[in-house]
Amino acid sequence: MGQMNRRELSRQLYERAVRVTPGGVNSPVRAFGAVNGEPFFTASGTGSRLRDVDGVEYIDYVLSWGPLILGHAHPHVVEAVQRAVRKGTHYGTPTPEEVELAERVVALVPSLEMVRFVNSGTEATMSAVRLARAVTGRDLILKFEGCYHGHGDSFLAKAGSGLATLGLPSSPGVPKEITRLTLTVPYNDRGAVEEALSRHGDRLAALIVEPVVGNAGLIPPETGFLQLLRDETQRVGALLIFDEVMTGFRVALGGAQERYGIRPDLTVLGKVIGGGFPVGAYGGPRQIMARVAPQGDVYQAGTLSGNPLAMAAGLAQLEVLERENPYVRLESRATRLVEGIVAAARRHGVPATGAVVGSMWGVYFCAGPVRNFEDALAVDRELFARYYRECLDGGVFFAPSPFEAGFISTAHGDADIDETLAVVERSLAKVIDQG
Ligand code: KE4
């Protein structure tokens, strides 16, 4: 019967889905396009595992693309949401839960004195950039190739020809007048940053960066790079925005800014602070955040911002993270996973390199080193797609793209890693033998 029939109900759902939703999914990354496959449809999640509608079980390293650092259906999170939903779902007024989560986030993230909750990372990055433009009175922003900050128009820009040139739209529907305000330079490229800020620094409102790049696989900052961004933005009077939607509460309890000892002017958060519910946030020092309406004049709003169920789930996750502080354990398990995958690839003659930062990890099927997005483009995508499908059929769910970070949760045990490495070994053997 083979694997196709193992996912018969998913296939039937996919056929229905593509008739009523573009690509059959509500977010493109879920479509398995990069691995020439069809998505499975999930029925439930428990701990480190997902179960699809056909009853097939997977060890899950996507974890909802980052939010589920405690794994699926953690009892503390489930009970918190059950208690909240019995009281209602949303009120359109402030609630105690919003204050409690804001106090926790401000207490844990070093540079924050105030925070505003929104409903997605995209909303949060858009709002942070609007605030930076208002505070500085400038319009230009600078981002890095391979960094993703959500689908706001300003971020759907690709590097123009040559370094430090004004951006071009990377999606139809985005006016070039908007992306012309976005500079894009290579990550970890000190010279390109210095050149861009020397040429455009007096017009620069903000530099936005993923302090650890998780949207091009996993690319850590080279020593001194984040400090350079801090010094250079300080020098030209631009704001430094850390997009910690992915790294927040994932690479350390206080995020990348705690791990690397850098204080950005604005921080963007999401994923983990919602415990699987739609939450984004942006925050910073009081004197910057005081410009946000209604205290200040920079407008931003949202019907369901601060939703009490989402706040309850986020609070519950943070409570467990504060109590357990699992980061050393998470990093050690992720390291064993990555070293095992890289060693297996090399045993089969496949060039491979990997990286781990906290509970985020990445493996590239190329020789490396991978310092930026251009280096990452050297991966063998065809091999990755075949390897990916074999791993999936073996019951391991990795991110369906070589340009996404992997995650690990406190629910992943040594047995999960052992089982995963056995599946990886068999998958590579099969793919290499097939030639
Ligand atoms: P959302 O709008 O998807 O909540 O967040 C956008 C965002 C902003 N900043 C960073 C660093 C992010 O990683 C993201 C979203 N990440 C992707 C995964 N690469 C979300 C998955 C998806 O688009 O469905």
Q: pLDDT digits over 82-115, tens only?
A: 999 999 999 999 999 999 999 999 999 999 999 9
The domain spans of the chain are 3-61+326-434, 75-324
Fold of 3-61+326-434: Aspartate Aminotransferase, domain 1 (3.90.1150)
CATH code of domain 75-324 = 3.40.640.10
On whether the CB atoms of residues 305 and 91 are closer than 8 A, the answer is no
Stretch among 153-162, 183-192, 198-207, 318-327 having the lowest mean pLDDT: 153-162
What pLDDT does residue 5 have? 58
Could you tell me the two tokens for 208? 């936005």
Instruction: Quick: pLDDT tens for 207-260.
Output: 999 999 999 999 999 999 999 999 999 999 999 999 999 999 999 999 999 999
The predicted model gives 60-72 an average pLDDT of 98
Mean pLDDT of all residues belonging to the chain: 95
What pLDDT does residue 6 have? 79
Rounded to the nearest angstrom, the distance between the alpha carbon of 121 and the centre of ligand 1 is 6
C-alpha torsion angle, residues 280, 23, 376, 58 (rounded to 10): 80
The predicted model gives 73-77 an average pLDDT of 98
Enzyme catalytic residues:
148, 243, 271
Q: Kindly list the protein residues whose Cβ atom lies closer than 6 A to any atom of ligand 1.
A: 27, 29, 65, 120-122, 125, 148-150, 210, 214-215, 243, 245-246, 270, 280, 404
Instruction: Quick: pLDDT tens for 107-164.
Output: 999 999 999 999 999 999 999 999 999 999 999 999 999 999 999 999 999 865 554 5
Rounded to the nearest angstrom, the distance between the alpha carbon of 17 and the centre of ligand 1 is 22
What pLDDT does residue 1 have? 41
What pLDDT does residue 59 have? 98
Label residue 433 by pLDDT band (50, 70, 90): confident
235: left (phi over 0), alpha (psi -120 to 50) or beta: alpha
What pLDDT does residue 74 have? 98
**Separation of first and last alpha carbons in the chain:** 24
Rounded to the nearest angstrom, the distance between the alpha carbon of 248 and the centre of ligand 1 is 12
What pLDDT does residue 165 have? 58
Nearest atom of ligand 1 to the alpha carbon of 247? 11
Could you tell me the two tokens for 156? 């759907």
Residue 405 has pLDDT above 90, yes or no: yes
Q: Same fold for the domain at 3-61+326-434 and the one at 75-324?
A: no
Rounded to the nearest angstrom, the distance between the alpha carbon of 126 and the centre of ligand 1 is 13
What pLDDT does residue 160 have? 59
Nearest atom of ligand 1 to the alpha carbon of 30? 24
**Can you give the chain as a three-state secondary structure string?**
CHHHHHCHHHHHHHHHHHHHCHHHCCCHHHHCHHHCCCCCCEEEEEECEEEECCCCEEEECCHHHCCCCCCECCHHHHHHHHHHHCCCCCCCCCCHHHHHHHHHHHHHCCCCCEEEEECCHHHHHHHHHHHHHHHHCCCEEEEECCCCCCCCHHHCEECCCCCCCECEECCCCCCHHHHCCEEEECCCCHHHHHHHHHHHHHHEEEEEECCCECCCCCECCCCCHHHHHHHHHHHHCCEEEEECCCCCCCCCCCHHHHHHCCCCCEEEEEHHHHCCCCCEEEEECHHHHCCECCCCCECCCCCCCCCHHHHHHHHHHHHHHHHHCCHHHHHHHHHHHHHHHHHHHHHCCCCCEEEEECCEEEEECCCCCCCCHHHHCCCCHHHHHHHHHHHHHCCEECCCCCCCCEECCCCCCHHHHHHHHHHHHHHHHHHHHHC
Distance CA 157, CA 124 (A): 18
Ligand 1 pocket test, pick from 21, 26, 27, 65 with the greatest ligand atom count within 8 Å of Cβ, gives 65
What pLDDT does residue 370 have? 97
Q: Is 14 exposed, middle or buried (0-12, 13-18, 19+ CB in 10 A)?
A: buried
pTM of this structure? 0.97
What pLDDT does residue 429 have? 97
Instruction: Quick: pLDDT tens for 268-300.
Output: 999 999 999 999 999 999 999 999 999 999 999
